[in-house]
Chains A and B, each alone.
Chain A
Amino acid sequence: MKRYLIRRLLQALFVLWAAYTVCFTVLYLLPSDPVSLMVSGGAEQTSIDDAQLTALRAQYGLDKPIIVQYVDHLWHALRGDFGVSVQTGRSITQIFLDVLPATLQLAASAFTLALFLGLGLAYWATYARRLWVRQMLLSLPPLWASLPTFWVGLMLIQIVSFRWGLVPATGDDGVSSLLLPAVTLALPTAAGIAQVFAKSLRTVETEHYITTAAAKGASPTRVRLRHAARNAAIPALTLAGVWAGNLLAGSVVVETVFSRTGVGRTTATAVGTQDIPVVLGLVILSSVLFTAVNLAVDLTYPLLDPRIVSPAADPR
């Protein structure tokens, strides 16, 4: 178990380093100059001479060779210092921490919703008594998965908020404003979970241990819940773990559509204003989050499937 943990941690560190390097390379090779942008972006069009620009570049370390900048940034990032925004001058770590809770809240509720919706739908779709009910339910996940998130969001606002007036359309105050974005964000993930779970429920049906259980005199419900579902859930939950990270990524669109504060929307804004240090910082911090979620998921596998950690018996 300890070896497994260490290996996963090392892998996580490698992923972070790779994300940082790719991001840094892409962003700093872009043909734009953050200092001139910062200067021209100001409200009052003060004229600045070249000497002052050079001074500013030196202040942000932009005059050094690229490799030195890379190492410098990495060194600071390792100590939790991602620099400051060229637009507002605020600490990037602070910006991130300010908007993080809203995003986490959204992602967590969407994940929970997706899990219940996906597993529940698949279970129902597989064991419904009537054929047409099964077929109708099974056709839902592909439909959900193919609807674009922004369209679902806009339709929900249109119908649930404007026509029925049930919940506020936008903003971020309390549970009622969380509902629509969470549903919007959850649908594609729920669809994926449902498809995988339904498929593996059908596969598991023909497993020999299902016959063993039935031969004990177990009722169909007992066989399904204790033997079939438990085993069939393994691949579905594995994928759910991978998608948990995608929920963070998906928040860019959803937060924009619903005008919520959050990591996604802040990143989108920073990209718009070409605030490169902010983009870099947010991407890195998001990958830390993403990696942490995946690590947590990996570490819960042994709870789901005892075969993962303990070695197999001597094949004799």
Chain B
Amino acid sequence: MTALEDTVGAAPAAGTSETAGTSTTSDAADPSAGALLAVRDLRVSYRHRGTYTQAVRGVDLTVRPGQVVALVGESGSGKSTTAHAVIGLLPPGGRIESGAVRFAGVDLAALPPARLRAHRGRDIALIPQDPTVSLNPVQRIGTQVAEVLLIHGLATRRTAPAAAVAALAQAGLPDPALRARQYPHELSGGMRQRALIAIAFAATPKLLIADEPTSALDVTVQRHILDHVEKLIKDHGTAVLLITHDLGVAADRADEIVVMSGGGIVESGPALQVLHDPVHPYTRQLISDAPSLTSVRTPGRSRAGGLPCPHRAVVSARIEGPANPAAPRGGSRAAEPITPGQTALLVASNLVKDFPLPRAPAGPRSVRAVDDVSFTIRRGETFALVGESGSGKSTTARLVLRLMDPTAGRITLDGTDITSLRGPALRRLRRRMQIVYQNPYASLDPRFTVGETIEEPLRLFGVGTRTTRRARARELLSQVALSPHLLDRRPAELSGGQRQRVAIARALSLHPDLVVCDEPLSALDVSVQAQILDLLARIQEELGLSYLFITHDLAVVRAVADHVGVMRHGRLVEVGSPRDLFDNPRHAYTQELLAAIPGRRAGVAGGSPVPPRETADPTAGTTTSSSRRCDAAGPSGVADTRITYT
């Protein structure tokens, strides 16, 4: 543990290179001796148009045998570059400027390529980020697993196929012999990730580099896979360098956490210490932004049927007083007194959607994507639909928006049946319901300027003149906290968070009553996610909007929703307030989802609460210090998920 403490001691000062340098010398003799991997003062740069930019600036890192070290940071922090530099797999244009990567005493950074290759795959294995694109699409799974054994002479052409099947079985893939004969596109994402795990563990490496191994997968799948990897590393004594942007995952899985930002290490130390007593402000920010780690916001003024929500206070204020002056352009509609929790805005009753299947000799003719789904969205409230990919939540949203016709069921908006609206009436309906999509990189037309994007709905409905539309776009930009200077920019010049704000501004341009947010956060970094969540909440307060919030992340639900519906296989298995769901999940599937939220084990040590959200937006008003205590002694997974409000 002394080595760890050394790193911890050095960490807060690591921002300045000379202190990092001294700490290196002080612990150089000590940790390198017992360390499996010792990265010392690593500097990596990328060439861009002839000039080199440093992406990693003097990183020190120690992984001891059997230890799990998590490298945490946001995109662009240099965490993936560090990991790739360790095995010499930097993307084109990247090069190690200086520093040492000592693996079992050998400096990998100084090895000739052929000798470095002898270590790759055999001693140090990689589990890549996105399983859907990380397997060769034209080679059978078995061949790809066998390849690593053949390369390192661990199997012969005759023994390799059987060895590959054994490796697949070890990775927990059902029917390994069948899977070995299949191609990647015939397997689900989770199965592909298991195949990649089989490749990584085939040669029983000493060190495993896991680069965001499950970020592309559903939470429950993620949990099963991480559990399995954990079992494998325990069995084989493998050390792990875990790259993740999710502090929750790091909290659950790592012995030690190293936080990176801007190419340098800002903090490192034993996992519990970093989580419960973060020294660096950046680490605190990360912790407070991670939805899975932040606890539920404390109950505000409690009202009938309501649940604590940051914007609640303001909404109720509006009931008592005059309409928020910030929202006059909402027209008479938005200025009307709103009584959330009372008026139903949208009611979906018994929705069913069947999709025809390609005709096959056997099997059903159609698949039921949405099966008897009923819910109500009240004015000014957020209804969240939670479920994994394929659960039917997005299809439900499309039915509600009338982008798709339901096979059966009824949808009413403000008491009017909109299930079978056609032509001009349907077009008018579009003004009242808008959508914010998941991926702001894909949902904005790259050739439109920000101004054109925001004005497009107004133009299409012939609202106002050119000048008033431009004025409206300006106003919307300020509403989503963007500078009006951005009006003439194109999406390529904006960051992910800025793009999502533009998408939100576009959705708001026609004064809709209901905005469908389809996984609006999943393509963004955690700190940006927190900002967008705050923005959505603020806009809801100001305009009295209703949201239908689609997400696979229960932790996000906790932060935004008034009511939650859990979907599985097209059915709504449980509906309730977030508090009911989190405190007292009735359906087994809800319990499983809750148990899968990463960051559960973080509180195991009890005692020290997750720090309060000091950095929280003051307008949010009600946030707070609150802690979540997990019942470590709980007899079942359910008990572990109990949450205590303070």
> How would residues 198 to 217 of chain B score, 1 for a CB under 8 Å from any chain A CB and 0 otherwise?
01000000000000000000
Q: Given contacts A306-B185, A307-B183, A315-B389, are A215 and B120 in contact (CB under 8 A)? A: yes
> Which residues on the A side are within 8 Å of B139 (C-beta)?
226-227, 230
Chain B residue numbers with a CB within 8 Å of A316 are 188-190, 388-390
Q: Mark A184-222, 1 if CB is under 8 A from B, else 0.
A: 000000000000000000000111110111111111001
B228 in the interface, Cβ–Cβ < 8 Å?
no
Question: Knowing A215-B120, A306-B183 touch, does A208 contact B151 (C-beta < 8 A)?
Answer: no
Is the C-beta of B242 less than 8 angstroms from some C-beta in chain A?
no
A217:B185 contact, CB within 8 angstroms: no
- Interface-side segment among B57-65, B85-93, B304-312: B85-93
Query: Taking the complex as formed, is B187 at the interface, i.e. its CB lies under 8 A from any CB of chain A?
Result: yes
In the assembled complex, A304 has its CB within 8 A of some CB on chain B: yes
Q: How far is the CB of B493 from chain A (nearest CB, A)?
A: 23
Contact A231 B136 (CB under 8 A): yes
In the bound complex, residues from chain A placing their C-beta under 8 Å from that of B134 are: 208-209, 211-212
Q: Is the CB of B185 within 8 A of A209?
A: no
- Given contacts A211-B89, A315-B188, A316-B389, whether A217 and B118 have CB atoms under 8 Å apart is yes
Closest to B120 in A: A217
CB of A305 within 8 A of chain B? yes
| Residue interface mask B102-138, A partner, CB < 8 A = 1 | 0000000000001001111110011011100111111
Confirm or deny: A312 has a beta carbon within 8 angstroms of a beta carbon on chain B: yes
> Is the CB of B147 closer than 8 A to any CB of chain A?
yes
> A216–B151 contact, CB under 8 A?
yes
A312 touches B151 (CB 8 A): no
List residues of chain B with CB within 8 A of the CB of A222: 151
Check B336 for interface membership: any CB of A closer than 8 A: no
Which residues of chain A (260-316) have a CB below 8 Å from chain B?
A: 304-307, 310-316
Which one of A205, A215, A234, A310 contacts B186 once the chains associate, using CB atoms below 8 Å?
Answer: A310
Given A207-B133, A217-B119, A307-B185: A314 and B390 interface contact (C-beta under 8 Å) = yes
- Inter-chain CA distance A313–B183, complex, in Å, is 10
CB–CB A313/B147 < 8 A: no
Q: What separation, in Å, do the CA atoms of A145 and B144 have in the docked complex? A: 38
User: With the chains together, A259 CA to B59 CA distance in Å?
Assistant: 72
Q: Which residue of B lies closest to A209 (CB)?
A: B136
Taking a contact as CB atoms under 8 Å apart, the answer to whether B137 and A209 are in contact is yes
A217, B128: Cβ atoms closer than 8 Å: no
Whether the Cβ atoms of B389 and A231 lie closer than 8 Å is no
Q: B575 interface residue, CB < 8 Å from A?
A: no
Q: Known contacts A306-B185, A314-B188; is A215 also within 8 Å of B87 by CB?
A: yes
A314: chain B residues within 8 A (beta carbon): 188, 390
- Residue B516 is within 8 A (CB to CB) of chain A in the complex: no
Residues of A contacting B388 in the complex (Cβ-Cβ under 8 angstroms): 316
CA of A226 to CA of B151, assembled, Å: 13
Which one of A205, A217, A227 lies within 8 Å of B136 (CB-CB)? A227
Bound complex: CA A211 to CA B130 (Å):
11
Question: Which chain A residues border B133 with CB–CB below 8 Å?
Answer: 207-209
For the complex, is B196 an interface residue (Cβ under 8 Å from A)?
Answer: yes
Number of A-B residue pairs with CB-CB distance less than 8 Å in the complex they form: 105
State A211–B92 Cα separation when bound (angstroms). 11
Partner of B129 from the list A208, A219, A307, A313 (CB cut-off 8 Å) is A208
Q: Report if B152 contacts A (CB, 8 A).
A: yes
Find chain B residues with CB under 8 A from A205 CB: 92
Residues of chain B within 8 A of A211, CB atoms compared? 89, 126, 128, 134
Nearest-CB residue, chain B, relative to A210: B136
* Pair B137/A231 contact, Cβ less than 8 Å: yes
**Cβ of B178 to closest chain A Cβ, rounded Å:** 13
Which residue, of B138, B144, B147, B183, has the highest number of chain A Cβ atoms within 10 A? B138
Closest to B218 in A: A316
Residue of B with least CB distance to A207: B133
Is there contact, CB below 8 Å, between A315 and B138?
no
Q: Does residue B38 face the partner (Cβ distance < 8 Å to A)?
A: no
Please determine whether B183 and A310 come into contact, CB atoms closer than 8 angstroms: yes
- The answer to whether residues A313 and B186 also contact, given A216-B148, A216-B151 and a CB cut-off of 8 A, is yes
Near A by CB (< 8 A), chain B positions 338-389 give: 358, 388-389
A219: B residues at CB distance < 8 A: 114, 117
Nearest CB of chain A from residue B167's CB, rounded to whole Å: 12
Query: In the assembly, what is the distance between CA of A311 and CA of B129, in Å?
Result: 24
Q: How distant is the Cα of A310 from the Cα of B147 in the complex, in angstroms?
A: 24
- Closest residue to A234 on the B side, CB-wise? B138
Contact call A206/B147, Cβ cutoff below 8 A: no
Residues of chain B within 8 A of A209, CB atoms compared: 133-137
The answer to whether A313 and B187 have CB atoms under 8 Å apart is yes
Question: Which chain B residue shows the least CB distance to A306?
Answer: B183
Q: Are A212's CB and B126's CB within 8 A? A: yes
Q: In chain A, what residue has the closest Cβ to B358? A: A311
* B390: A residues at CB distance < 8 A: 314-316
User: A216's contact among B121, B130, B358, by CB below 8 Å, is which?
Assistant: B121
Q: How far apart sit A310 and B121, CA to CA, in the bound complex (Å)?
A: 31
**Nearest chain B residue, comparing its CB with the CB of A214:** B89
Known contacts A211-B128, A231-B136; A217 and B122 CB within 8 A of each other: yes
- Hey, what's the 0/1 contact readout for A229-260 against B, CB within 8 Å counting as 1? 01100100000000000000000000000000
Partner of B185, one of A206, A207, A312: A312
Residue contact B389 to A215, C-beta cutoff 8 Å = no
Chain B nearest CB, measured from A217 CB (Å): 4
Say whether, besides A217-B117, A222-B151, A313-B188, A212 and B199 are in contact (CB < 8 Å): yes
Q: A214–B135 contact, CB under 8 A?
A: no
| B120 and A216 within 8 A (CB) | yes
Q: Which residues of A contact B199 (CB under 8 A)?
A: 212, 216
Contact string against A for B residues 170-203, beta-carbon threshold 8 Å, 1 for contact and 0 otherwise = 0000000000000101111111000010010000
Known: A215-B87, A215-B89, A215-B126. A304 touches B118 (CB 8 A): no
Closest chain B CB from A224 CB (angstroms) = 13
Chain A residues within an 8 Å CB radius of B135: 209, 212
**Max chain B Cβ within 10 angstroms of own Cβ: one of A212, A304, A307, A311:** A212
Which residues of B lie under 8 Å from residue A215 when comparing CB positions? 87, 89, 120-121, 125-126, 128
In the complex, what residue of chain A is closest to B367 when comparing beta carbons? Answer: A314
Q: How far is the CB of A185 from chain B (nearest CB, A)?
A: 30
- B144-178 vs A, CB cutoff 8 Å, 1 = contact: the mask equals 10011001100000000000000000000000000
Residue of A nearest to B183 (CB): A306
Q: Which residues on the A side are within 8 Å of B151 (C-beta)?
A: 216-218, 222
* Bound-complex Cα distance A310 to B181 (A): 13
Q: How far is the CB of B124 from chain A (nearest CB, A)?
A: 8
**CA of A133 to CA of B384, assembled, Å:** 59
Asked if A208 contacts B91 (CB within 8 A), the reply is no
**Given A213-B147, A306-B138, A313-B89 contact (CB < 8 Å):** no
Residues of B at under 8 Å CB distance from A?
87, 89, 91-92, 114, 117-122, 125-126, 128-130, 133-139, 144, 147-148, 151-152, 183, 185-191, 196, 199, 358, 388-390
Known A-B contacts: A214-B89, A216-B147, A314-B188. Give 14 more (CB < 8 A).
Answer: A205-B92, A212-B144, A212-B196, A214-B120, A216-B148, A217-B119, A217-B120, A231-B137, A231-B138, A307-B185, A310-B186, A311-B358, A313-B191, A316-B389
12 A-B pairs with CB atoms under 8 Å apart are A205-B92, A206-B92, A208-B128, A209-B136, A212-B126, A212-B135, A216-B148, A216-B151, A217-B152, A226-B139, A231-B136, A313-B186
What 8 A-B pairs have minimum CB-CB distances, sorted nearest first?
A217-B121, A215-B126, A216-B121, A217-B120, A216-B148, A208-B134, A316-B390, A306-B183
